[in-house]
Amino acid sequence: MKLVTAEQMRAIDAEAIQNRGIPGPQLMENAGRGIAEHIIDALLETPQDTTVAIFCGKGNNGGDGYVVARHLLEAGVDVHVYHLGPVDKLSADARLNYDRASKMSVPMTEVGQVGDLPPVLECDLIVDAVFGTGFEGAPRGLSAELIDYMNVQDIPILAVDLPSGLNADTGQAEGAVVEADYCCPLALPKVGLYVSPGRELSGTVATIPIGIPDDVVEVFDIRTALITPEDVADMLPYRKPDAHKGDFGRLFIVAGSMGMTGAASMTANAANRSGCGLIKLGCPRSQQPVLAAKLTEVMTCALPDVAKRGALALRALGEIRAYLQAHDAVVIGPGMGTHRETREMVRRLVGKLDRPAIIDADGLNNLVEGLDIIRECPAPLVLTPHPGEFARLTGRSVPDDFLARAELVRATADELDVVMVLKGSPTLVAEPGGSCYFNQTGNSGMATGGSGDVLSGMIGSFLAQGMEPLEAALCGVFIHGFAGDLAAEALTERALVAEDITRYLPTAFGIIEGIE
């Protein structure tokens, strides 16, 4: 699903209205009706016994609110509209729908000051239709006071398009902002809904179609997108009922060193939990007994190591290449360290790879000042740096602004001809010549050692099962975050550790694969 900025949304609206002949009031009617239907279907058990308070601003967001009020009233909901200031200040389309609501005898109250409102609202749901996508800056005066009033009511809030006070592009709030439990972006979700703090302020997000044709959106070549659970469910590989383990791929993992065997074992276990048929872990000979004891369902092989250092030696290269001939994909890097022999081994290995690979952690650190090796690698690559690793690898710092960050990730994927996964909140995924995808799953509990190793194993598993690099990365980051969300729900974010993500992968897969 495309993600848009405020400017892009304005341009799409203008194209639909001015060049495709879709009247603005019709789009507003579709939006309000869609939100009302969502409220009735998803949020209200018995509409006839429910009271909804709708707060309408002066612009088109307020106009959407009047449409919501009409349709809720028709469904038997007890509705009351509170509008900011006199009606002669409304936008043209908002005034049209104010008049329609008036003719239906929707109860409405003009709010000139917060004192005009009851100290405690007697309702079951608040609809925030004060500010829309075009809002910038900080709410002032009555608007700011009204936002604070809604927030302290201890009543669930549904925001129309995005929470009032939130910047649609940055996800930031310069002043008062609605703390929504639900948000219904119109036509397309906005970037700011998936960037903190906008992500936390938006609650559960459900996009409402408003009748803009897909080909109108395509005119603008939007290069940011959202990973959705429906996309992931469609991309996961089919498992034949009569299959054997060889049908589900063979993955080779090059990982581990003295003191960092945990990274290698977490990578292998996550790959195993992600559906791979056969997994072999290649590790330093001195560390193989430790890893063999940790891993009961993964084969281990002892590779030449640097004496007393517990790190992979350069002479391990030949054995690794021989093992790769019997495997479908490879993971390179978790916990392998950056000893000079290990570094040289990685550079030579990547330079002549002939299997799809994911390179993570020390695999990337061993390629610093080796961008030409990545560019010239003959095999499809997925790189999974965090911002620090990205900066070391490319020499470019990661900007705080997420639109700039997305463009940097997309440009780097183009330049290196790789699928680039920039880990963070949100994690971004880009392919050469394509979009930059925002991931909507995950939580702060996943900011813990080993979380990235779990992700590496998952993506490696998907590559071994025959998925294309972009699909493997998209499924990996979404399900990884989803499993982390399930784990946090059960264990709390504070107490979550990386292995909990792997433990909740079966539940995550079960839910995703149940999507129709």
Residues of the chain scoring pLDDT < 50:
none
59-87 burial, b at 16+ Cβ within 10 Å, e below that, comes to bbbbbbbbbbbbbbbebebbbbbbbbeee
| Tokens 């790189």 found at | 383
Q: Are 6-222 and 229-513 the same fold in CATH?
A: no
Query: Mind giving me the DSSP string for 385-427?
Result: --HHHHHHHHS-PPPSSHHHHHHHHHHHHHHHTSEEEE-SSS-
| Tokens 């929470």 found at | 163
pLDDT tens-digit readout, 257-290 = 999 999 999 999 999 999 999 999 999 999 999 9
DSSP β-ladder status, 182-184 and 157-160: parallel
332 strand-pairing partners: 254, 359
If we measure between CA atoms, which residue out of 221, 236, 161 comes closest to residue 192? 161
pLDDT at res. 464: 98
**Alpha carbon distance 28, 474 (integer Å):** 34
pLDDT at res. 85: 86
Q: Is the peptide bond before 426 cis (omega within 30 degrees of 0)?
A: yes
375-388 burial, b at 16+ Cβ within 10 Å, e below that, comes to eebeebbbbbbbee
pLDDT at res. 516: 73
CATH topology of domain 229-513: UDP-N-acetylmuramoyl-L-alanine:D-glutamate ligase (3.40.1190)
Per-residue DSSP letter, 184: E
**Alpha carbon distance 437, 456 (integer Å):** 18
Do residues 389 and 366 lie in contact, with contact meaning Cβ atoms separated by under 8 Å?
A: no
pTM of the model: 0.95
**Alpha carbon distance 455, 459 (integer Å):** 6
- CATH code of the domain made up of 6-222: 3.40.50.10260
| Tokens 């003191």 found at | 259
- Domain borders along the chain are 6-222, 229-513
